[in-house]
Amino acid sequence: MLALALKLGLAPVHFWLPEVLQGLELTTGLILSTWQKLAPFALMIQTAPTINSSLLIAIGLLSMLAGGWGGLNQTQLRKILAYSSIAHLGWMVLILQFAPSLTLLSLSLYIIMTSSAFLTLKTNNALTINTLATSWTKSPTLAALAALVLLSLGGLPPLSGFMPKWLILQELTKQGLPLSATLAAMTALLSLYFYLRLCYALTLTIYPNTLTATA
């Protein structure tokens, strides 16, 4: 289980993922964040019934906390997306033993949203938060699309990223785990905070005009 967690980048063996992703270009980072998750997740889904549920819940909550907390003070977009990946995978592992169908739903939506985020950032040539401020002047439509994708990754209703989190919280409550559901909802606020910070830089800041006035 820990070997699969290391392969997926789950806490507490997640430290390699932000550093590796930071050194990759956006296209390669997209493959690492999406395609590379499929094989380990297939193994994890098959072995989940034989694993202690407390271990899965602990890894899931720890990953959500590490992903939300780690992304707060980052300015590099690739590191932010790496910590976002850790947090999202934590949600999937948390519910894996109770409802594998919800895990597959979350994984599918995560791949779609992460692919959209990487591709829009690649189109904007944005690697840091500061470069996001110039995106609106270059292409307002693309910047608005990027903002919607980032808010969806943060799980803000009524966007699609909210649906799996709502269903997972509902299932955890049905399974008699209100404390885990509460902790999961609280850690989601950490991720939402740095996504709102990105959207603020993307849509609500004006890049300074450095052109000098001519007489």
User: pLDDT per position in the chain (215 positions), as tens?
Assistant: 888 889 988 988 888 999 999 888 889 989 998 998 899 889 988 888 888 888 889 999 999 999 989 888 888 889 999 999 999 999 999 998 888 899 999 999 999 999 998 998 888 888 888 888 777 777 778 888 888 888 998 888 888 889 999 999 999 999 888 899 999 999 989 888 888 988 888 887 766 655 444 44
Residue 211 CB: number of other CB atoms within 10 A?
Answer: 5
Number of domains in the chain: 1
Which residues have a Cβ under 8 Å from the Cβ of 126 and sit 6 or more positions away? 77, 132, 135
- Residue 213: predicted pLDDT: 44
| Structural domain includes residue 117 | yes
- Residue 71: predicted pLDDT: 85
Q: Which residues pair with 102 in a beta bridge?
A: none
| Structural domain includes residue 215 | no
| Structural domain includes residue 171 | yes
CB of 207 closer than 8 Å to CB of 134: yes
Full-model pTM: 0.87
User: d(Cα 49, Cα 213) in Å, to the nearest integer?
Assistant: 69
- Residue 88: predicted pLDDT: 92
Boundaries of domain holding 62? 1-204
| Structural domain includes residue 183 | yes
| Structural domain includes residue 15 | yes
Annotate 36-63 with b (16+ C-beta within 10 A) or e (fewer).
Answer: ebeebbeebbeebeeeeeeebbbbbbbb
Residue 76 CB: number of other CB atoms within 10 A?
Answer: 14
| Structural domain includes residue 25 | yes
| Helical residues (DSSP H) of 2-37, grouped into ranges | 2-8, 16-22, 26-33
| Structural domain includes residue 27 | yes
| Structural domain includes residue 209 | no
- Residue 91: predicted pLDDT: 92
